[in-house]
Amino acid sequence: MDTIAVLGTGRVGTAVARIALDAGYAVHVAASGAASEIELLAEIMTPGARAMTAADAAREADIVVLAVPLHKYRNVDPAPLAGKIVIDALNYWAPVDGVIDEFEGRGLSTSEIVAEHFTHSRMVKTLNHIGYHEMEEDRLPSGMPGRRALAVASDDSEAAEQVRGMLDRFGFDALHSGPLVTGRAFEAGTPIFNGSFTAEELRKELSTSVAALAR
């Protein structure tokens, strides 16, 4: 469990790659094109990460982080991600991204919809409810008071557990909120999305928000 592939070299992707490198992981970064197109970018923005194509990056990784623009997720070939833990950090935020029909009307979280494309992957929703520069600034060692906690939703509790361990190495507490549907409790616009919480606070917030989903 020591290689992480980050698909997307934008604000979120480069931040995730840097914190993964700091945490001692081997990191692959990829964008939509050839490896050569992002070599300089990787050298300067994510020193230590290997620039690859998305397919190669994913194939050789244990965990794949999706950090592409939401409306482009279908351009990512699901085949090399089959059997992998895939972290969906994407958000649908109509006031900012505009209305995307596919994400309207079904009452589903983005991850439930994205999971329909990556049918053979072990989908985990997390890292979506923290700003990209907070990811770097809010990290604290395990056990420090006030450490920030992130929510993790997945139908696959073993995958959730592995991602929890990864987030702990990154510098965050993490709580498994339950199956992927519970990720609706921390979608864009929710109190969890808008706030910053310690583990204890997040546990409380999740128990009310997840209970509200059931109603």
Partner 1 sequence: MQLGAYSFGDTQRNPDGTLRSTAEAIRNLFDAIVHADTVGLDYFAIGEHHTVDMPASSPASLVNAAAAATRRIVLSSGVSVISTDDPVRVFQQFATADAVSGGGRIEITAGRGSSVESYPLFGYDLRDYEQLFEEKIDLLLTINRGSPVTWSGTMRPSLDGLDVVPRPVSGSLPIWIGTGGSAPSSVRAGRLGVPVSYGIIGGAPHRFAPLAELYRRTAAQHGHTGEDIKVSVAALGLVAPTKQEALDRFYPGWVNLNMEMGKLRGWPAPDDRAYLAQAHAPGAYYVGDPDDIAERIVHLHGHLGHMRHFLQMDIGGLPQEHLIESLTLLATEVKPRVERLLSKK
Ligand X SMILES: NC(=O)c1ccc[n+]([C@@H]2O[C@H](COP(=O)([O-])OP(=O)(O)OC[C@H]3O[C@@H](n4cnc5c(N)ncnc54)[C@H](OP(=O)(O)O)[C@@H]3O)[C@@H](O)[C@H]2O)c1
- Within 10 Å of residue 48's Cβ, how many Cβ atoms? 14
Contact residues for 122 (Cβ-Cβ < 8 A; gap 6+): 83, 84, 85, 86, 154, 156, 159
Convert residues 69-88 into a mask of x (bound to partner 1 by CB under 8 A) and - (unbound). x-x-----------------
As a whole number of angstroms, the distance between CA 142 and CA 198 comes to 12
Give the pair of three-digit tokens for residue 100.
Answer: 């995307």
Residue 95 contact, options partner 1, ligand X, none, Cβ 5-8 Å cut-off depending on partner type:
partner 1
C-beta of 117: minimal distance to ligand X in Å?
12
C-beta of 161: minimal distance to ligand X in Å?
22
Q: What single DSSP character describes residue 49?
A: P
Residue 40 contact, options partner 1, ligand X, none, Cβ 5-8 Å cut-off depending on partner type:
partner 1
Convert residues 111-140 into a mask of x (bound to partner 1 by CB under 8 A) and - (unbound). ----------------------x---x---
Q: Where are the alpha helices (DSSP H) in 62-131?
A: 94-97, 110-117
Q: Where are the alpha helices (DSSP H) in the chain?
A: 11-22, 39-45, 54-59, 94-97, 110-117, 132-137, 157-170, 191-194, 199-214
Backbone angles phi, psi at 124, to 5 degrees: -130, 130
Run of H or E including 32: none
Residue 15 contact, options partner 1, ligand X, none, Cβ 5-8 Å cut-off depending on partner type:
none
Residue 68 contact, options ligand X, partner 1, none, Cβ 5-8 Å cut-off depending on partner type:
ligand X
Task: Name the residues that contact ligand X, by CB under 6 A.
Answer: 7-13, 30-33, 54, 67-70, 72, 75-76, 89-91, 128, 131-132
Which residues sit at the interface with partner 1, rule CB under 8 A?
Answer: 9-11, 14, 31, 37-38, 40-41, 44-45, 69, 71, 93, 95-100, 133, 137, 188-189, 191, 194-195
